Structure 1
Amino acid sequence: MTQVKSFWLMLLFALVVAVFTVGCSSDDTTGKDGSETNEGTNEGAAEGEWEGQTLKVQLIGDFNMEDSTDPITGETTKGLQGIKDEFEKQHPGATVEFIIMPWEGYTEKTQAMITSGEADVYQMPGIADFAAQGVLEPLEPYIENDPDYNLDIFIENQVNGWKALGPDSDELGIYGLPFLGDARFIAYDKQLFDEWGVEYLSEYPTMEEVAEKAKQMTGKNPVTGEQNYGIWFRGDWSSAFTLINLAEGQNGSWGTGFAWDEIEFNFDSPEMKKGLEWLLDMQGFAPDGLVSNQGNEKWLTQNNDIAIMLNQGPGDTIMPAYAQGLGDRIGIAQEFKNDEGVGGMFAGSPITMAKDSENKDLAWEWMKFATSETVQKYVFEEANGMPAIQAAETWDSYAEVENLMAPTLEAMSTPWTPRYPWASSQPRFILTSEVEAALTGERSAAEAVEKAQKESEQWLKNRN
């Protein structure tokens, strides 16, 4: 009897200790330095193969963890917390941490992060440079060994466009999956065309068509009496891409090759010279301030004074146009194409896996999740980004803006791919500087493209 009583006393004591221990445990997510983290608690998650694994995901741009208010529409924009919760729900035991950085200086910041092994998955526009360093995991084995994953979900050319060369390879391989889609196109104001009595741009306009219509719509608007400008293009940051596209429209190209020891530039080609001369002519139908990204302040407003906008992107056009009630007023035409229907800058952001990640299986799960309809729809509807998957065409949110989305998705399927491999390297900035020099009258078109060619060749020689 005494032994039985002792047993029950010991059991009661054990229960009290257990309750006390649970009551004193903490579930807050305050970091060691007192800053807030997004680690979460995974409360209620069942134990599984992901138990204890933390996945760090780097994202670039206007992502937020918590819900926020859109400054243009006043509507609530959902944060990444819901995406985090859904992934952790589908992968019990796992924890996702997001590291969000701005676009400014993202290349240098990403380099620092991947060098120090700070994340498992990266959003990486400059994939070619990083793949060559050997810091990215090749994805073909994961794709081949995952029978449920199909690359056919992506918009045409998106997968091929992000292929890159590894440090010991002479063939392009898959180091990233399309995540944020993007494209470049020519946008125009239908109302100004109507007021001037000019026919809308054709779906695939030529340089001659754009020049003629830009000239016709420069001057005092016949209906409003206000000063109008026929065209606008950015004369600084993206001017190299605008010039390259003009060469493509004449069946020219930036050059050939992908590996640095095989690249040859065509910056001084007749097509490039003629393209830059065309830009100099168009400067006469544009507002002042092209080389300082000015003169387009009224674009996408009711008082817009510019008829045609070159080298535009969906993030700055589609949702802002509808937010301002201009969705039916704006038209989209394709950038200049060669005789094979190819032309325009390949843009966007793939997602990649760090070579030194200790959670590669979980990283692959995230990459599949990030390219699923769940996340791609979030990117489009909440983050003002472009989806990279074909299923977007079936969404109700797509149907609401289809007149601008349909030509944008087409533009995503017909750019120059693989993209310009030098786009994030010094030759791009050399060419940009020479376009600026021509636009400011410092050099002629011929002198500018010749100087860009020589300096880029010298840079390439030093690099190799």
Structure 2
Amino acid sequence: MRSQSRHRNRAALALLTAGGLVVVSGCAGAGDLLGGGGDTINVLMVNNPQMTDLQKLTAKHFTKKTGIKVQFTVLPENDVRDKIGQDFANQAGQYDVATISNYETPIYARNGWLHELDPYLGKDKKYDEKDVLDPMRQSLTGDDGKMYAQPFYGESSFLMYRKDIFEKAGLEMPDKPTWKQVAGLAAEVDGEQKGMKGICLRGLPGWGELTAPLTTVVNTFGGTWFDENWEAQLTSPEFTRATEFYVDLLRKHGQAGAAQSGYAECLNNMTQGKSAMWYDATAGAGSLEDGKSPVKGKIGYVPAPVEKTESSGWLYTWAWAMQKASNNSDKAWKFISWASSKEYEELVGKERGWANVPAGKRASTYRNEEYKKAADGFSEVTFQAINQAKPREPGVQKRPAPGIQFVGIPEFTDLGTKVSQEISAAIAGRQSVASALKKSQELADKVGKEYQNR
């Protein structure tokens, strides 16, 4: 059993860190040497705005209350995924807690890299785990039915648009737009204000960057990465139409430098008035409605655009997971339970503004009158999008693995990133969509055949 486990961990690590990264070998006991000792824990997290707020509030509140110091390592999304993949796969124990998503959680749990959280949840009645939204709880549960992570914030995806610009142009956003309608509106508002483009969409390579929104478009256009028999479908008419639509929309009416624009760049463009529309994570609304945002109150929010499906929003959470090798599990849980608690949300509401609350995870948040008032424009749309998300049935056909904006297999980190590089090159005009998808089909076909032969 032990040799099989080592083999499985090495195989998964190779998939999660593909691309020439050097991995330092480690073992489960390495936490004694590398992990936070005494009253200190080490936390590795993505550099999103909600995490930046957390970093600022931790010492003043959590450490003051518990005496536990938190050493943060904060990295961009693609970088943090690589680093977490290395440390957790090796069980090096350098980091006690890390932000992982509902994509990694069941895979990491299957490989034995995560500390089960049920014992803590059973004892910590104050945490109120039942208040966590069911889609989030289910997405962070392992194959064994146990909980392995707790959400910091949850999200789906929706379309954001400048209400004032639309009004000026005499345009009306449909309550439930189609992608074809969005394309028409992007053409209308492109250039309506000096330096403003019609829409911002991710074009930056990365399975968690470009691939995420593109896959939701593929789903609602009737496509899929794999059919139920693991036959790759990247050159199918549906996948092709969706990709051509996405690339064409960006090239005609998208932001400058689209092939190098991800979530952060689109957020900046929308905040700075450089984009009239933005399709992306519902979590972006908090930053747009922040008290210091120049576009506060100017943004409208509608569900993710559709074509052949009733809904097309994704389901995602940045969640706190504890490395199994951590020697600070009790202290790590205290941090996780604080950072995901109602108490923390109230703290953010008071100190950073209720629009900045890391929402999308607790039912009580959407009953909070102060939050509802601050997030009036987007809270209900977000809540509905999360609850309507269907990870096991996101399109029009059966899938061999769960996932809306990803395929829930370890190989997808490498496959999704490589495919995104090809499509990003098409966005940049370096190759055609047909050429990009032909290369991508070959990559996906290899993965599909591996599963067919198992």
Name the TM-score, length of structure 2 as normaliser: 0.71
Residue 209 (structure 1) aligned to one of 172, 178, 181:
181
Q: Aligned letter for 1:247?
A: V
Structure 2: state its 5+ residue gaps: 1-35, 392-401
Q: Identify which range, 367-376 or 147-156, moves more after superposition.
A: 147-156
Q: Which residue of 1 aligns with 2:135?
A: 157
2:271 aligns to what SS in structure 1?
A: coil
Residue 124 (str. 1) matches residue 108 (str. 2): no
Q: Which residue of 1 aligns with 2:246?
A: 279
Q: Which residue of 1 aligns with 2:210?
A: 239
Change (3 A) 1:148 1:263: farther
Q: Which residue of 1 aligns with 2:445?
A: 457
1:148-201 residue CA offsets vs partner (Å, 9 max, x unmatched): 765431134111223345xxxxx665321212323332111111111111112x
Residue 430 (str. 1) matches residue 403 (str. 2): no
Q: Which residue of 2 aligns with 1:28?
A: none
The 2-side partners of 1:340 and 1:371 are apart by 33
Superposition map of 1:165-244 within 5 A: 165=143, 173-200=146-173, 202-219=174-191, 221=192, 226=194, 228-237=196-205, 238-244=209-215
The 1-side partners of 2:290 and 2:60 are apart by 28
Change (3 A) 1:229 1:117: closer
Percent same amino acid at aligned positions? 19
Contact 2:225–2:234 (8 Å) recurs in 1: yes
The 1-side partners of 2:414 and 2:349 are apart by 32
What displacement does 1:308 show?
Answer: 1.6
The 1-side partners of 2:146 and 2:221 are apart by 30
Residue 327 (str. 1) matches residue 306 (str. 2): no
User: Structure with the greater relative contact order (CA < 8 A, sep ≥ 6): 1 or 2?
Assistant: 2
Q: Identify which range, 209-218 or 111-120, moves more after superposition.
A: 111-120
Residue 80 (structure 1) aligned to one of 24, 42, 59:
59
Q: Aligned letter for 1:106?
A: V
Superposition map of 1:58-457 within 5 A: 58-61=43-46, 78-86=57-65, 88=66, 95-104=67-76, 105-114=79-88, 115-125=91-101, 126-140=104-118, 142-143=120-121, 150-165=128-143, 173-200=146-173, 202-219=174-191, 221=192, 226=194, 228-237=196-205, 238-255=209-226, 265-282=232-249, 283-293=251-261, 299-301=270-272, 304-315=273-284, 318-319=287-288, 322-337=291-306, 341-358=310-327, 360=329, 363-378=332-347, 384=356, 386-387=358-359, 388-393=361-366, 394=368, 396-417=370-391, 419=403, 420=406, 421-422=408-409, 425-457=413-445
The 1-side partners of 2:331 and 2:309 are apart by 41
The 2-side partners of 1:143 and 1:255 are apart by 37
2:71 aligns to what SS in structure 1?
A: strand
Q: Aligned letter for 1:117?
A: G
The 1-side partners of 2:151 and 2:255 are apart by 37
2:377 aligns to what SS in structure 1?
A: helix
Q: Aligned letter for 2:377?
A: N
What displacement does 1:455 show?
Answer: 1.0
The 2-side partners of 1:268 and 1:317 are apart by 37
The 2-side partners of 1:382 and 1:267 are apart by 47
1:352 aligns to what SS in structure 2?
A: strand
Tell which structure's C-alpha radius of gyration is larger. Answer: 1
Q: Aligned letter for 1:84?
A: T
Contact 2:247–2:426 (8 Å) recurs in 1: yes
The 1-side partners of 2:178 and 2:420 are apart by 23
The 1-side partners of 2:152 and 2:424 are apart by 32
Change (3 A) 1:382 1:451: farther
Q: Which residue of 2 aligns with 1:34?
A: none
Q: Aligned letter for 1:438?
A: A
Contact 1:63–1:100 (8 Å) recurs in 2: no
Contact 1:233–1:311 (8 Å) recurs in 2: yes
Structure 1: state its 5+ residue gaps: 1-37, 40-52, 71-75, 89-94, 166-170
1:284-308 residue CA offsets vs partner (Å, 9 max, x unmatched): 123442113299665323xx25322
Contact 2:225–2:232 (8 Å) recurs in 1: yes
What displacement does 1:217 show?
Answer: 2.2
What displacement does 1:100 show?
Answer: 0.8
Contact 1:334–1:411 (8 Å) recurs in 2: yes
What displacement does 1:427 show?
Answer: 1.2
Q: Identify which range, 414-423 or 176-185, moves more after superposition.
A: 414-423
The 1-side partners of 2:323 and 2:118 are apart by 14
Q: Which residue of 1 aligns with 2:41?
A: 56
2:276 aligns to what SS in structure 1?
A: strand
Contact 2:44–2:98 (8 Å) recurs in 1: yes
The 2-side partners of 1:179 and 1:298 are apart by 25
1:58 aligns to what SS in structure 2?
A: strand
Change (3 A) 1:281 1:118: closer
Contact 2:197–2:274 (8 Å) recurs in 1: yes
The 2-side partners of 1:288 and 1:122 are apart by 33
What displacement does 1:367 show?
Answer: 3.8
What displacement does 1:361 show?
Answer: 5.1
What displacement does 1:340 show?
Answer: 6.1
Change (3 A) 1:63 1:324: closer
The 2-side partners of 1:178 and 1:328 are apart by 28
Q: Identify which range, 210-219 or 114-123, moves more after superposition.
A: 114-123
What displacement does 1:358 show?
Answer: 4.4
The 2-side partners of 1:392 and 1:411 are apart by 15
The 2-side partners of 1:416 and 1:431 are apart by 24
Name the TM-score, length of structure 1 as normaliser: 0.70
